Amino acid sequence: MDVGRRWPAAVWVRRLLVVVSVGLLGLGVTCGTELAALVGRLERSDAVTFVTAPFRPELRMADRDAAQPLDPELAALGAKVTPSLVELTVFDSSGTPVGQATGVVLDSSGLVVTNHHVVADAAEVIATRSLHDWRAYPATVVGADLAQDIAVLRLRDASSLPAARLGDSDALRINQRVAMIGNGWGSMEVGAGPVTRLRLLLRRIPAEGMPRPRTAVLYDMIEARTGGNPGDSGGALVTTDGAVIGINQGVASGSGYAIPINKVLRVVERLTATTYR
């Protein structure tokens, strides 16, 4: 080996990324294919935008009277999508309700996807309201991925629930109009706006007085000017025709952030060994 050989800077960067990726993989931070995709994007610096957003846990009890009336267009879109959503209530070990969030129904037997941070500290989770049949269903956590902030639930005794219509998040474009639907303020709400950024690496920092997030960086995120409210976590980011193209993860400064549905399904399929397309 020629120890005196000088490598170009780009080569050193690539080698460093490979070393870092191997180390992270050894620590089990995320699965190999997802990490390889991240490393590939980091090598192409123009392919990724870094943003920093304050982390505020949206999981909390909210005031149903705070919901505002929807305009007719958004009301129609909400009516199309909400039958495949559930309102989730989280209980602590004493049986006290401590938070509300949202879940998206993946199949008629009651498999639901939401965020990991929704269920992370829960002693019990109940789908306190199915927007399809208005029933309550106890939920069991099937599996969760901390690094991607995704959790999969099974609603006990559920049947014939309408599954969400899933879109293709890879086809999403900047300025495309989308809507965020979730259990904001304890009542299903819809906020619409344009997609502003794609393939984000989202650095989450604690907001004042808030705990540090378990996952400090989320990647491949969607940003849209949809707004959002407490309880939207785990809800649906949808196209104007009602196809789910993301799972809501958080809001900051009027923007909503969502995990692309194609990425979500890869995680769900790994956790359940079932294909949902």
Neighbours of 254 (CB within 10 A): 11
DSSP β-bridge partners for residue 99: 90
* Residues comprising the chain, all counted: 277
- Asked whether the beta carbons of 147 and 29 are under 8 A apart, the reply is yes
| N-to-C CA span, the chain | 50
What gap in Å lies between CA 203 and CA 200, rounded to an integer?
9
What gap in Å lies between CA 136 and CA 163, rounded to an integer?
17
Neighbours of 260 (CB within 10 A): 22
For helices 261-272 and 32-43, what crossing angle results, to 10°? 150
Residues annotated catalytic, as ranges? 117, 149, 233
DSSP β-bridge partners for residue 194: 177
Q: Give the residue carrying structure tokens 């998040």.
A: 169
The tokens of 197 are what? Answer: 């950024």
